[in-house]
Structure 1
């Protein structure tokens, strides 16, 4: 399936950042909206600063100052940078286009679902297809469960086989909810989990997430 063109998660995420402001909570421990936006902007346009800021000496200090300068920009300017998107050669931008904007979908919910009274969005057909495609690409990489896992949505099923699986699991939900579950957002993912004894035990010992 070719990447869809009718859904722009980036624009919707930028609108949410702008509406909530930099101090809004997220579901990510220790992160507010400013931390989440910083992560996205560095990921897309300045990935060298992540490694650079961890280095000792002058190189590390320069990278840390450069990253802080990005965070010190006015909030509206930072949001505009996200809205504009990465350059054509950005690996993150390429990954988002190919994956159906999976990371943007997940991080949008990290922000939305930390707010009082949140409810799942009613996604468009295009956005739902994007979430389903993202799940197909990401789940084999991020779901580490020693059991056979079948992800079941209104769009169909995806099976993740385990070489050493001692049981089976069936996870039911909308594509976006399954994407959140696969990325380890159990606290907010609205899914239904069924499995045999071995599968449920494996789930309790599993690791999921980006």
Structure 2
């Protein structure tokens, strides 16, 4: 079932609140990234993707891109967060991609920030957002996982099985939809899941790849 735009707005609003509460220097689980770097990544992805390649542009274009990035970084934190609260339009490429993916980018990166803080706990997300996360698992898992084992992902919303060529065995991974989304994206250090499987399949999991 497709979730409403309201659930998407709720996630963005909550994420913006977390940014404001923690401030620009708060850590994330992403190596070398603080909250400011994460927000910049989201800003560029949604509003100025050309600036993500600024260092590869030729002379004058690179200079203008660097100047634009510097202006953004000099903007007060509260204004940067306020800009983030406004989602990209539904007709934009990123808007369409996020609608298709169930807002996976926001869900994952919000947890990148939340779960780097002392005393964090998994949050209960509304049913519509859980459906978003579970849909994102189905879309992301075949792209994000390269594991020589048959993997069955099991959540309260159902199961998804991914078969591998020349499989070494089978695995079952149990968790809430958001936890499985984090696990599929390679965030083992914070994903609250339970993994069960044959020894050879568990070794294949350690040797495989997850994440984009």
Give 5+ residue unaligned stretches, structure 1.
none
Q: Which of 67, 73, 76 is equivalent to 1:74? A: 76
2:36 to 30, 34, 47: 34
Q: Residue in 2 aligned with 1:139?
A: 141
Instruction: Give TM-score scaled by structure 1 length.
Output: 0.95
CA distance in 2, matches of 1:52, 1:138: 28
Residue pairs, 1:127-166, within 5 angstroms: 127-166=129-168
CA contact (8 A) 2:12 2:85 kept: yes
CA-CA distance at 1:197 after TM superposition: 1.9
After superposition, the C-alpha distances for 1:30-54 in whole angstroms (9 at most, x for unaligned) are 1000000000000001001112332
Farther off after superposition, 17-26 or 164-173:
164-173
Aligned to 1:47: 49
Aligned length: 210
Structure 1 residue 127 displacement after superposition = 1.3
Partner of 2:11: 9
For the 8 Å contact 2:3–2:129, the answer to whether it is kept is no
Unpaired segments of 5 or more residues in structure 2?
A: none
* Cα distance per residue 1:91-116 (max 9 Å; x no partner): 22211112111110000000000111
How far does the alpha carbon of each residue in 1:5-64 deviate from its partner, in whole angstroms, 9 at most, with x for none? 441211110111011110111010110000000000000010011123323422222212
Other-structure match for 2:104: 102
Question: SS at 1:53's partner residue?
Answer: helix
Mean CA deviation greater in 98-107 or 160-169: 160-169
Counterpart position of 1:84: 86
Task: Describe the SS at the equivalent of 2:56.
Answer: coil
- The CA deviation at 1:179 is 0.3
Q: What SS does structure 2 have at the residue aligned with 1:122?
A: coil
Alignment check: 8 A CA contact 1:144 1:206 kept: yes
**Alpha carbons 1:181, 1:191 under 8 Å: kept:** yes
Higher helix share: 2
Indicate the larger mover: 131-140 or 175-184: 131-140
Q: 2:146–2:210: 8 Å Cα contact kept in structure 1? A: yes
Does structure 2 conserve the Cα–Cα contact (< 8 Å) formed by 1:45 and 1:90? no
Find the aligned partners of 1:182 and 1:188 in 2 and give their Cα distance.
Answer: 12
Q: Within 5 Å, give how 1:161-176 maps onto structure 2.
A: 161-176=163-178
**Structure-2-length-normalised TM-score:** 0.94
